[in-house]
């Protein structure tokens, strides 16, 4: 199982997305994951592809071609606004 | 060295944090505190004319990642300037105007280090830590955009290593 | 704008000063406080090896002139950066290690101004306001010499007007 | 009457100095005042002439050749060490 998290405005756009994906044994990347969401969730995917959005795997920011493994937690992070 | 980092919904008490920071050593000469408050209006962009009345502010964060990122920010500050203690508290959840939202307290031997650390931690908190603000402006919910001025504030620490 | 300046023997309470500073407007986004404490040792010169145990610290000042000079320092800071409130409290008389000696509190809309004003006021307090410190080091009374590092700290505001 | 104030370590050195001087109607300056103290208080005067010592008249820092008038308050200020 791979868990997906969407923060900030991405969370609003991802309300109908399945946040748990069965891991099918194939090597996948965050970039490929986003591509698979494109037909069903075009607005979300457009937002995910904005250049300032970061992706993390297991709470560490990674590149979009980072390999994913069973049990990983993938989070999509828009620009932060705390403080 | 004593580092305390809390991400919490509960409010914090400046006097308690100050007392706790002060108590650690009698070598402390300087205590700097920064407290951020929720303003009653919010500029949605860098445009100074865009201010609107704010009803509530909701802070979301990424539990586990946020605390680690704050710890990294504090560690980086302590590699640049020495201190006796650093406390960072960031609130999450739904807050109202005038409520306290963030606290940074630093004790050091001399004032310059305490000021630098507090300012550095705040600049990086704004640009690196995984918090997201949503505002309710007259009933309309809206996610806040990152401010160019904050990105610039954090960048100043890398541009000028003498700072 | 609210400016409060006090030169007094009595101790001050951070929480009261903070509450008073915060209460003035709901536009405040940032509160910076600096508190100086009496360290338990004193370096008589800039030599870092010269530290000696301190029993008491006695502060003398020039009544009337001191308050005016602090007001001038605050005014100069407020010509550079905007704020809602500035409070400066400086104690005089005989103090012991760990006691509070000086407080600067600043409220502003954004954090940068509050930090700058607090740091500016402290740098100039150290170099312009008419206070003189005498220390009792193991029974030996001695007047403190001005520190080169303080003169340098104040000079940075004139060298770099972007600061 | 002209009143003299000595701060910091200057105060210790000026303990035997008369802190009130009858104004004799002649125009005088802080520099001349210090000169008149030299024979009786050589250590004090040496300290007063250190380049970092400032002089004020009626709580305003002035030059050493500032003219003095009856009722003036003259203060000698070593480098300050507050904060």
For B110-145, what is each residue's pLDDT tens digit?
A: 999 999 999 999 999 999 999 999 999 878 899 998
Q: Exposure pattern of A9-21 as b/e (b: 16+ CB <10 Å)?
A: bbbebbeeeeeeb
Mean pLDDT of chain D: 94
Q: How far is B36 from chain C (nearest CA, A)?
A: 5
- Identify the DSSP state of A25: S
Band the pLDDT of C49: cuts 50, 70, 90: low
Domains of chain C: 2-158 (3.90.1170.40)
DSSP C147: P
- Considering only CB atoms, C27 lies closest to which of B15, B28, B39, namely B39
Closest CA relative to residue B152, chosen from C33, C121, A53, C110: C110
Alpha-carbon gap, residue C116 to C106, rounded angstroms: 9
Q: What CA–CA distance (Å, rounded) separates D74 from D61?
A: 10
Cβ-based contacts of C36 with chain D (< 8 Å): 83
pLDDT number for residue C160: 57
Which residue from A50, A44, A39, A46 is spatially nearest to A4, judged by alpha carbons?
A44
CA distance C38 to chain B (A): 6
Lowest mean pLDDT among B40-49, B82-91, C14-23, D41-50: B40-49
- Predicted interface score ipTM higher than 0.90: yes
pLDDT bucket at C163, cuts 50 / 70 / 90: very low
Which phi and psi angles does B24 have, rounded to 5°? -80, -30
List residues of A whose CB lies inside 8 A of any B CB. Answer: 5, 7-9, 11-12, 52, 56, 59, 75, 77-83
Among A60, A66, A59, A72, residue whose Cα is nearest residue A21: A72
3-state secondary structure of C138: coil
Indicate the residue of B18, B34, B40 with minimum beta-carbon distance to C26: B40
Choose the closest CB to C131 out of D52, D59, D82. Answer: D82
CA D52 to chain CA mean position, Å? 14
B 2-61 residues inside an 8 A Cβ radius of C:
13-15, 18, 22, 26-37, 39-41
Residue B138 gets the label, from left (phi > 0), alpha (psi -120 to 50) or beta, of: left
Phi-psi category of C114—alpha, beta or left, where left has phi over 0 and alpha has psi -120 to 50? alpha
User: How distant, in Å, are the alpha carbons of A36, C107, C157 from that of C28?
Assistant: 46, 6, 25
B111/C36 touch (CB, cutoff 8 Å), yes or no: yes
Q: Is C45 exposed, middle or buried (0-12, 13-18, 19+ CB in 10 A)?
A: exposed
Nearest CA-CA partner of C115 in C8, C43, C53, C33:
C33
C132 and D75 in contact (C-beta within 8 Å)?
Answer: no
Q: For a pLDDT cut of 70, what percent of chain A falls above it?
A: 99
pLDDT at B48 over 80: no
Average pLDDT over residues C18-23: 96
Q: Which of residues 102-141 of C touch B (CB under 8 A)?
A: 109-112, 114-115, 118-119, 122
Give me the torsion for CA of B20, B22, B26, B30, rounded to 10°. Answer: 160
Q: What pLDDT does residue B140 have?
A: 86
The candidate with the shortest Cα–Cα distance to D77, out of D16, D30, D21, is D30
What's the whole-number mean pLDDT along residues D44-61? Answer: 96
Give C142's contacts (C-beta < 8 A, 6+ positions apart). C44, C134, C135
Place of tokens 């580092």: B3
Q: What percent of chain D has pLDDT over 90?
A: 89
pLDDT over 70 at B101, yes or no: yes
* Whether domain D2-77 has CATH 1.10.274.10: no
pLDDT of residue C68: 97
Instruction: Tell me the shortest Cα–Cα distance from B98 to chain C, in angstroms.
Output: 6
Residue in B38, D8, B17 with CA at minimum distance from that of residue C28: B38
Report residue C137's pLDDT band, with 50, 70 and 90 as the boundaries: confident
> Measured between alpha carbons, how far is A6 from A70 in angstroms, rounded to an integer?
19
Sheet with B93-95: list strands edge to edge.
Answer: B93-95, B56-61, B131-137, B140-143
Burial class (CB in 10 A: 0-12, 13-18, 19+), C41: middle
Parallel, antiparallel or unpaired: strands D2-6 and D73-77: parallel
pLDDT at C16: 98
Q: Residue length, chain C?
A: 163
Break chain A into its structural domains and give their ranges.
Answer: 2-77
Cα(first)–Cα(last) distance of chain A, in Å?
A: 34
Tokens in use for A60? 């560490």
Alpha helices in chain B (DSSP H): 14-22, 65-80, 111-128, 148-159
Residue A9 has pLDDT above 60, yes or no: yes
C-alpha to C-alpha distance for B62 and A57, rounded to whole angstroms: 12
| Contact between chains at C112 and B153 (C-beta distance less than 8 A) | yes
CA-CA-CA-CA torsion sign (C132, B117, B83, B11) = positive
């Amino acid at each position: 199982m791979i868990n997906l998290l969407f923060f900030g405005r991405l969370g609003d756009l991802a309300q109908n997305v399945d946040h748990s994906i069965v891991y099918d044994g194939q090597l996948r990347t965050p970039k490929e994951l986003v591509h698979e969401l494109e037909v069903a969730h075009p607005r979300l995917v457009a937002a995910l592809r904005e250049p300032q959005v970061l992706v993390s795997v297991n709470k560490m920011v990674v590149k979009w071609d980072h390999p994913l493994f069973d049990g990983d937690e993938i989070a999509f992070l828009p620009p932060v606004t705390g403080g | 060295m004593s580092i305390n980092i809390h991400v919490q919904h509960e409010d914090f008490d400046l006097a308690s944090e100050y007392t706790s920071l002060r108590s650690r050593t009698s070598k402390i000469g300087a205590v700097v505190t920064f407290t951020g408050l929720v303003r009653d209006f919010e500029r949605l962009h860098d445009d100074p004319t865009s201010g609107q009345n704010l009803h509530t502010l909701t802070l979301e964060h990424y539990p586990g990642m946020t605390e680690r990122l704050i710890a990294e920010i504090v560690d980086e500050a302590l590699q640049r300037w020495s201190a006796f203690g650093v406390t960072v508290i960031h609130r999450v959840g739904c807050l109202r105007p005038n409520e306290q939202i963030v606290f940074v307290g630093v004790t050091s031997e001399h004032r310059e280090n305490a000021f630098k650390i507090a300012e550095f931690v705040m600049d990086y908190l704004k640009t690196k830590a995984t918090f997201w603000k949503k505002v309710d402006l007259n009933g309309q919910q809206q996610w806040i955009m990152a401010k160019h001025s904050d990105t610039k504030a954090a960048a100043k620490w890398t541009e000028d290593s003498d700072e």
